[in-house]
Amino acid sequence: MKIKLLPSTFDEHGHPCVEQRLSCYLVDDTIAIDAGSLGLALAPHERTAIRDVIITHTHIDHIASLPIFIDDSFEYLEQPVRVYATAENIQRLEDDIFNWHTYPRFSELSNGHCRVMEYVTLRPNETFSIKHLTITPIPVHHAVPTVGLLLTSNDTHVAYSADTGATDEFWRVLNRLPHLDALLIECSFPNALSKLAIDSGHLTPALLDTELEKLDHLTSIYAVHIKPSYRDVIMREIAACGRTNLRIAEPGLTYEW
Ligand SMILES: [Zn+2]
Ligand SMILES: [Zn+2]
């Protein structure tokens, strides 16, 4: 399984910047998880390969360019863009984004070949399939209803926490697996802002270190969702945890297991 963290921005030479402002991960070049930079960071031929987008929650850094992605694909679509989310998050997308005011209601529009967008409702802890992947959405603890994801392809298991503070169900599901190949987990704030992290349903390096005690598997761990203004201090604090299997995922790189 390959996962690429899409860059949020590029420097003047076209190289990805290390700061992650938006969340979007491409799985095996064809399935998007969250859509923060989905409409901004891909070349046209890369966009064409993606018709399945899983939304973990509706905070703007996770959906910012979903409307742009569908808009740019509008003319070429021969099948709808399928947006996977829980029922409450589909309702939020309809109420707050695709409401004709903020952007057109794409779920009601056709380009002459097909409807351009359709929703697929996710049910917590119910495994579903997209292409070769099976995916289990697992509720996590965030300021709004959010699901982490367990992704399985053949015998490879990779988990993505989405945005979360301290949580339990996620770890229970992962601990039932025979093995876990990799974990992408958020670490938004530095230790000095732990009250803000707790209040907003996020992690700091120290809180992450505590959470990882709940995981029974030894696996490769990638910290993501590092707030750009605190990136340097968060990197130092993550290093100070002394976990040799824990590092920061870099935007623009593809990781493979
Ligand atoms: Zn969030
Ligand atoms: Zn976020």
How far does residue 36's CA lie from ligand 2's centre (Å)? 9
User: What is the reported pLDDT for 7?
Assistant: 96
CATH number for the domain spanning 27: value is 3.60.15.10
Q: Which residues, other chains included, contact 122 with Cβ-Cβ below 8 Å and sequence gap of 6+? A: 54, 84, 85, 86, 128, 137, 147
Work out the burial of residue 12: count CB atoms within 10 Å of its CB; fewer than 13 is exposed, 13-18 middle, 19 or more buried.
exposed
- Inter-residue contact 183 to 215 (CB < 8 Å): yes
Angstrom CA distances, 99 to 35, 63, 71, 72, stand at: 18, 15, 15, 18
Q: In what order do the strands lie in the sheet with 117-122?
A: 117-122, 81-86, 52-54, 31-33, 25-27, 2-5, 254-256
Ligand nearest to the CA of 188: 2
Neighbours of ion ligand 1 (CB under 5 A): 59, 163
Give the predicted TM-score (pTM) of the model: 0.97
How far does residue 114's CA lie from ligand 1's centre (Å)? 32
User: What is the reported pLDDT for 216?
Assistant: 98
User: What is the reported pLDDT for 208?
Assistant: 98
How far does residue 56's CA lie from ligand 1's centre (Å)? 9
How far does residue 224's CA lie from ligand 1's centre (Å)? 12
How long a stretch of residues is the chain? 257
Q: How far apart are CA 57 and CA 54, in angstroms?
A: 9
User: What is the reported pLDDT for 93?
Assistant: 98
User: What is the reported pLDDT for 202?
Assistant: 98
How far does residue 59's CA lie from ligand 1's centre (Å)? 5
What residues make up the domain containing 125? Answer: 2-256
- Inter-residue contact 252 to 16 (CB < 8 Å): yes
Work out the burial of residue 31: count CB atoms within 10 Å of its CB; fewer than 13 is exposed, 13-18 middle, 19 or more buried.
buried
How far does residue 145's CA lie from ligand 2's centre (Å)? 12
Closest among 185, 167, 175 to 222, alpha carbons compared: 185
Q: What is the pLDDT of residues 109-139, one digit of tens each?
A: 999 999 999 999 999 999 999 999 999 999 9
Q: In which element (H, E) is residue 121 found?
A: strand 117-122
User: What is the reported pLDDT for 161?
Assistant: 98
User: What is the reported pLDDT for 203?
Assistant: 98
How far does residue 143's CA lie from ligand 1's centre (Å)? 7
For residue 257, what pLDDT band results from cuts at 50, 70 and 90? very high
How far does residue 210's CA lie from ligand 1's centre (Å)? 20
User: What is the reported pLDDT for 239?
Assistant: 97
Average pLDDT of 45-59? 96
User: Residue 250: which region, alpha, beta or left (left: phi > 0; alpha: psi -120 to 50)?
Assistant: beta
Q: How far apart are CA 253 and CA 257, in angstroms?
A: 13
Q: In which element (H, E) is residue 209 found?
A: helix 205-212
User: What is the reported pLDDT for 77?
Assistant: 95
Q: What is the pLDDT of residues 139-191, one digit of tens each?
A: 999 999 999 999 999 999 999 999 999 999 999 999 999 999 999 999 999 99
Average pLDDT of 46-50? 95
Q: How far apart are CA 3 and CA 102, in angstroms?
A: 31
First CA to last CA distance, the chain: 5
Q: How far apart are CA 159 and CA 140, in angstroms?
A: 12
Ligand nearest to the CA of 186: 2
Q: How far apart are CA 221 and CA 223, in angstroms?
A: 7
How far does residue 122's CA lie from ligand 1's centre (Å)? 18
3-state class of 227 per DSSP?
coil
Percent of the chain with pLDDT over 70: 100
Average pLDDT of 232-238? 98
User: What is the reported pLDDT for 146?
Assistant: 98
* Overall domain count for the chain: 1
